[in-house]
């Protein structure tokens, strides 16, 4: 850092005083200077253990759902690199439905077989059947081999029998379920209320069949995301994972066609999750997980300062390998030690103050940003 932490605190205090004098309600300072200085001058241990959804983690860094969880060996590499938990790659609603439909079709095709043929096991259709069993088998192996919590991921967008798979995940050893609700409401007649109710129904369907914690990974695209977060919390979500990334297609102007594709997240994508982490911290009971835009230890630190209980990353681990997790954890540890902060003290230090109305706080921040832009660019 170019500015030592105590100097940064003094700068924050000066900024707050200037804003107050100017009649601006926004402030960078979340407690008075004496309190902040007391924190800075207190020697602390750089202990990184924490809790997430009631699970005990040895660090707040979590490997989120992705290809690095496709074998026990790769998950062990992540564990050795210092992640506190691992979220397995997702099992999709469509895969579960397809497999169930295939099994029904197979059973009906052989419903009239003679009793003498009962020992014959028919060969099911080959396309993707067995994905659920393979997933559960890997989950079971991983849960036995790892000492960190292994979280199963179930991805869907509709209610239905597929949610019962969550119970099979729990039985296979999942420490928790991450429910990834990837829903793009293309039906133009569907109201915002109906979209919100679908999320709550899917959550309830999963909560009804499991006893382990359930996290909900969702998008920010609601008319009032804060209200949606509170509703999920009240409905029993043990954690909220902010945010799911919608895969947005592009257009090839030369071939005149829509191009689908997937890009790894970039650091700038962490700003939106951070905004809502800061707004929700201390206002809901569910744990908060940051995801998207986590590339460096600075990104991990920013998310924790905003109020995240844990910080998740996949893109950085794909780019740099499982060993990159150790760099992220070590960077966090060095930062806390250098600034004489515990993890608990750092968490939420820059969240929206509890006494501040979130909408007014965010609005005043917006106005301040515009004023800064005018000064910088001469607008």
Q: What is the pLDDT of residue 211?
A: 98
The rounded distance, in Å, linking the Cα atoms of 168 and 170 is 5
Q: Residue 53 has which token pair?
A: 């959804």
8 A C-beta contact, residue 142 and residue 88: yes
Q: What is the pLDDT of residue 24?
A: 42
The rounded distance, in Å, linking the Cα atoms of 1 and 12 is 16
Query: Which regions in the chain score pLDDT beneath 70?
Result: 1-45, 100-129, 358, 360-362, 364-371, 373-374, 378-379
Q: What is the pLDDT of residue 134?
A: 94
Q: What is the pLDDT of residue 364?
A: 67
Q: What is the pLDDT of residue 374?
A: 66
Angle at 314 between CA 309 and CA 317, to 5 degrees: 115
Task: Tell me how many domains the chain contains.
Answer: 1
The secondary structure element, H or E, covering residue 154 is strand 150-156
8 A C-beta contact, residue 188 and residue 213: no
Residue 142's CATH number: 3.20.20.70
pLDDT tens string 126-165 = 345 588 999 999 999 999 999 999 999 999 988 887 888 9
> Residue 232: CA atoms inside 13 Å, Cβ hemisphere, count?
32
Structural domain includes residue 354: no
Q: What is the pLDDT of residue 185?
A: 79
Q: Compute, in degrees rounded to 10, the torsion defined by CA atoms 327, 329, 331, 332.
A: 170
Structural domain includes residue 309: yes
Structural domain includes residue 29: no
Of 200, 250, 254, nearest in space to 222 by CA: 200
- pTM equals 0.79
φ and ψ at residue 216, rounded to 5 degrees: -115, 120
Residue span of the structural domain in which 246 resides: 39-348
Q: What is the pLDDT of residue 101?
A: 65
Q: What is the pLDDT of residue 370?
A: 59
Structural domain includes residue 191: yes
Q: Using N-to-C axis directions, what is the helix angle for 131-145 and 93-109, rounded to 10°? A: 130
Structural domain includes residue 5: no
Structural domain includes residue 59: yes
Q: What is the pLDDT of residue 184?
A: 78
Q: What is the pLDDT of residue 268?
A: 85
């Amino acid at each position: 850092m170019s500015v030592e932490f105590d100097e940064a605190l003094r700068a924050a205090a000066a900024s707050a005083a200037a804003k107050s004098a100017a009649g601006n309600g926004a402030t960078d300072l979340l407690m008075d200077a004496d309190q902040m200085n007391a924190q800075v001058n207190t020697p602390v241990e750089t202990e990184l253990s924490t809790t997430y959804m009631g699970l005990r983690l040895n660090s707040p860094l979590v490997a989120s759902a992705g290809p690095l969880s496709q074998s026990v060996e790769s998950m062990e590499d992540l564990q050795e690199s210092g992640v506190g938990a691992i979220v397995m790659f997702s099992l999709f609603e469509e895969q579960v439905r397809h497999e169930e439909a295939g099994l029904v079709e197979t059973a009906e095709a052989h419903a009239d077989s003679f009793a003498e043929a009962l020992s014959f096991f028919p060969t099911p259709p080959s396309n993707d059947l067995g994905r659920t069993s393979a997933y559960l088998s890997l989950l079971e192996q991983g849960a036995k081999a790892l000492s960190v919590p292994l979280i199963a991921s179930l991805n869907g967008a509709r209610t239905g029998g597929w949610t019962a798979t969550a119970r099979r995940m729990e039985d296979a050893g999942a420490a928790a379920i991450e429910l990834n609700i990837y829903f793009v409401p293309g039906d133009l007649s569907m109201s915002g209320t109906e979209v919100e109710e679908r999320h709550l129904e899917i959550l309830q369907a999963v909560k009804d069949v499991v006893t382990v914690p359930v996290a909900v990974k969702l998008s920010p695209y609601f008319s009032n995301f804060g209200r949606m977060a509170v509703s999920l919390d009240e409905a029993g979500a043990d954690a909220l994972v902010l945010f799911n990334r919608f895969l947005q297609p592009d257009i090839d102007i030369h071939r005149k066609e829509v191009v689908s594709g997937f890009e790894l997240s970039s650091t700038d994508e962490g700003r939106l999750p951070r905004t809502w982490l800061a707004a929700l911290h201390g206002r809901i009971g569910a744990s908060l997980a940051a995801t998207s835009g986590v590339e460096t230890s600075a990104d991990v630190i920013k998310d924790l300062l905003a109020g995240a209980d844990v910080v998740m990353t996949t893109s950085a681990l794909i780019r740099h390998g499982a060993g990159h997790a150790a760099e992220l954890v070590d960077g966090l540890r060095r930062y806390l030690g250098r600034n004489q902060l515990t993890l608990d003290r750092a968490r939420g230090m820059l969240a929206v103050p509890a006494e501040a109305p979130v909408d007014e706080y965010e609005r005043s921040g917006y106005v301040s940003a515009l004023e800064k832009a005018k000064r910088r660019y001469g607008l």
